[in-house]
Each structure stands twice: as structure tokens, then as C-alpha cells.
Amino acid sequence: MKLNKIFKWGMVALIVVSFAILVWGFAVGFEENSGLAVDVLLRWAYVMLGIALCSWVVVGLIVNTKNDPKSLVKIGVVLVGVAVLCLVAYLLAAGDPAMGLTTAQPEAGTLKLTDTVLNLTYIVGAASIVAIIVGEVRMAIANKKK
């Protein structure tokens, strides 16, 4: 019960801080001060995403370890798979200069990371489509056998 209260008040605190930053952004103006409010909002979004991912992994590890200690091996395999997928996407990324850009080109590292994210999007999107098709086919076969 105590853990639920900690999570509840932690979420309330994050919501209050998020709301305060949002109100500050509207008060300051998003286009004034060289877009400072936008930068702050984006950085806060990164912080919130990081908190969500860390809590998901940590809570998942704790719960899985309590319920089934062997699940740590499965989690390790999944993490290694994700790391390999990211490495493959990075190695496939060309990092070519942006076409049609009238201003200065971004740095080579930025272009490489942008291409990596695009490759990851393509790979995960294709895998999702394949998973949907395979799932539907398996469900159709299972229903036919009944």
C-alpha cells in the first residue's frame, strides 16, 4: 500500500511541474526569447520520457524477479536484441547530406543519427505489419481447427 502512495504522489508532482512549465511557456511566449520556452518544454518532455522508460524497466525487473527469476534471462535477451537492432540500423545509416536544404548542413554525426532513427522506424514499421499478418493467419488457422 505504501508503494502505491509513493507512485500516486510522484505522478501528482510530475503533473504539477508539467503544468507549471506549460503555464510558464504560455506566459513567456513560445516565439519570444529565442524560443526558450520551446527548449524548456522539449527538455522536460525528454525528462518525462526518461522517467517513464526507467520506471518501466525498473518496475518490470522488480515484478518479474519476484514472480519468476528466470524471466531476467528473457529480459536480457530482449535488451540484447534491441541493442543489435539499433546497431544494425546505425550501420545501415548512410548519413548523406540533406537534399534541398538552403541553410548550412547539419554535422555528419547528426545526419547519421537522423538516418539511424529513420531506419529504426522503417524496420519496426515493417515488423509490425508482418506481426499483424502472421497473427491474423495464425488466428484463422486456430479457428479453423475448432
Crossing angle of the two packed helices 2-28 and 36-67, in degrees rounded to 10? 170
**Quick one: pLDDT at residue 56?**
79
pLDDT of residue 122: 95
- Structural domain ending residue among the three candidates 67, 95, 117: 67
The span from the CA of 28 to the CA of 14, in Å, is 21
What's residue 143's pLDDT? Answer: 86
| Whether residue 1 has pLDDT greater than 80 | no
The verdict on 52 and 90 lying in the same domain is: no
Task: Tell whether the model's pLDDT for residue 108 goes beyond 90.
Answer: no
Q: Residues 55, 83: one domain?
A: no
What the block records as the C-alpha cell of 25 is 511557456
Q: What is the count of structural domains for the chain? A: 2
Note the pLDDT of residue 6.
Answer: 84
pLDDT value for 139: 93
Q: Looking at the whole model, is its pTM more than 0.95?
A: no
- Angle formed by the axes of helices 71-92 and 108-145, to 10°? 130
Last residue of a domain, one of 13, 43, 67: 67
Residues 87 and 19 in one domain: no
* Containing structural domain, residue 118: 70-146
Which of 46, 67, 88 is the last residue in one of the domains?
Answer: 67
pLDDT for res 146: 67
| Residues 90-105, mean pLDDT to the nearest whole number | 84
